[in-house]
Amino acid sequence: MRYSEETLKRMPKSTHPDHESVRSQLSDNLSQKLESFSLKSKDLEMPMPPIALAPLRQEGIRPCNISDVLVDLVGAVVPLAHEQKRAVLLSEVPRSLQVPIEEPALRQALGNLIEGALLRIQAGGKVEIIASGAPAGGALVIIDDDGLDMHYMVCVMKSIQYHDHRDNA
């Protein structure tokens, strides 16, 4: 988690959290978060299809628990996000979501996505992370933020679709 720690230290008003206490805090509150997320009735707006992590067919790669990786990564950023009046929510994460993928590469990729989402949101904003088993096997991880740039991109895409529709008429 070296890359995340260095980035967090560079962010304004950053502090480095005690990793183990954050992990236990997240584990204790995971069931509450799952319950509150499942009660939401509104649809989530997704500007692009989520990326599915398909199982590899290579030998020699040990299964990696994506749930543990997400708990670790979120645990590292929650205190800083809270200090900066931002929220990071880990929702719908099964206790064990095993996928044969190299754990360091997965940590790097998910860490970069979470970090990017946190940098895009303003005070009062949130990043929501959802993980589940994918229908064809593997795992599905969604990292959603309410940053302005993503809303702008969705509006631009809708505008482009509308424009294309008018040209075809």
Which among 163, 159, 169, 153 is positioned nearest to 47, based on CA atoms?
A: 153
Using the predicted structure, report yes or no on whether residue 24 has a pLDDT greater than 90.
no
Write down the residue that tokens 């990729």 correspond to. Answer: 109
For 103-132, what is each residue's pLDDT tens digit? 998 999 999 999 888 988 888 999 999 988
Using the predicted structure, report yes or no on whether residue 76 has a pLDDT greater than 60.
yes
**Per-residue model confidence (pLDDT) at position 111:** 92
Quickly name the fold that domain 2-168 has: Heat Shock Protein 90 (3.30.565)
Question: Is the Cβ–Cβ distance between 88 and 4 less than 8 Å?
Answer: no
Write down the residue that tokens 């099964």 correspond to. Answer: 94
Q: What is the mean pLDDT of the chain?
A: 70
3-state secondary structure of 43: coil
For 34-72, what is each residue's pLDDT tens digit? 455 444 444 455 455 555 655 556 667 788 899 999 999
Answer positive or negative: Cα dihedral of 140, 145, 9, 124.
negative
Domain boundaries, the chain: 2-168
Could you tell me the pLDDT band of residue 133, with boundaries at 50, 70 and 90? confident
